[in-house]
Amino acid sequence: MAVSSSSSSSICFNSTRLPSARPISSPPSRLFPVTTICPRSLLPSDSRSLLSSTGSRLRFSALCVRDSKAAEVTERSWENSVLKSETPVLVEFYTSWCGPCRMVTRIIDEIAGDYAGKLNCYVLNADSDSLVAEEYEIKAVPVVLLFKNGEKRESIMGTMPKEFYVAAIERVLNS
């Protein structure tokens, strides 16, 4: 099963054995997290089946999907999405292993909803797109950069309260 990867998404699966599978005496936990599936490639109504280690088929049904309101930007899309944007842009630099990044991503998702149409919000994986991170001298994550007319206007390092990000956004929008 080919599946694209996105760290800003998480999805939970419920596994059930198909009728043709033989029963097991003590089933393992039926709910387990998977964080490497992009919700755009797997809808909540989708079901997938895989072979278990015993050779029986397991069916996986999506129970919950957390889809980010902030789109993923990459090195390939950086220039068009960020530098050439006529709308101010917020970019969070994150890594998949960073706990504080997950907290910031939740805040960025809220901000993306609050500022829809006024501000484009993106996330960039600093591990997989290290050239962009190096260009902006990102040494630690999370870092949020705000751009207007292709220029970096604000930089916020670390995990901050939502009000801190909103104040920086308002400064950029009013400049």
**Coil, strand or helix: which one is 84?**
coil
* Positions marked active-site: 98, 101
Q: Within 13 Å and on the Cβ side, how many CA atoms surround 134?
A: 6
**Rg of the Cα trace of the chain?**
20
Secondary structure percentages of the chain, helix, strand, coil, to 5: 25, 30, 45
Structure tokens at 39: 């919700």
* Residues 34 and 46 sit within 8 Å (Cβ to Cβ): no
